[in-house]
């Protein structure tokens, strides 16, 4: 997301609109562009099983205030039962 700059100087983020001017960084999704993310999840080894079934859930959250405690918004969700044969 756009990381606003406090009073348009330095690298400190501003929070209230009254102190925001400029940007320190911008990790937003930009228009007409595709952003790619890659995740790898390694599960614990278990010699006694020949198959692992994973209840996978991938979620895209928007956190307007930067954390899950304040008005989080679940934008997208994907679920799949994944079978891994060992």
Which residues lie near another protein (CB under 8 A)? 1-2, 4, 8, 14, 16-23, 26, 28-45, 47, 52, 54, 56, 58, 60, 62, 64, 73, 75-76, 78, 80, 82-86
- b/e 21-45 (16+ beta carbons within 10 angstroms → b): eeeeeeeeeeeeeeeeeeeeeeeee
Rg for the chain (alpha carbons), in Å? 20
Find the shortest distance in angstroms from Cβ 82 to another protein.
5
Cβ count within 10 A of residue 46: 9
Find the shortest distance in angstroms from Cβ 50 to another protein.
11
> Which is nearer to another protein, 10 or 54 (by Cβ)?
54
Find the shortest distance in angstroms from Cβ 26 to another protein.
7
Cβ count within 10 A of residue 76: 9
């Amino acid at each position: 997301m756009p990381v606003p700059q406090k009073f348009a100087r330095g690298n400190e983020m501003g929070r209230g609109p009254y102190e925001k001017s400029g940007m320190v960084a911008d990790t937003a999704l930009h228009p007409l562009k595709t952003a790619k993310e890659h995740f790898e999840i390694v599960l614990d080894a278990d010699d006694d099983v020949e198959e692992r079934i994973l209840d996978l859930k991938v979620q895209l959250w928007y956190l307007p205030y930067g954390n899950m405690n304040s008005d989080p918004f679940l934008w997208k969700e994907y679920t799949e039962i994944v079978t891994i044969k060992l």
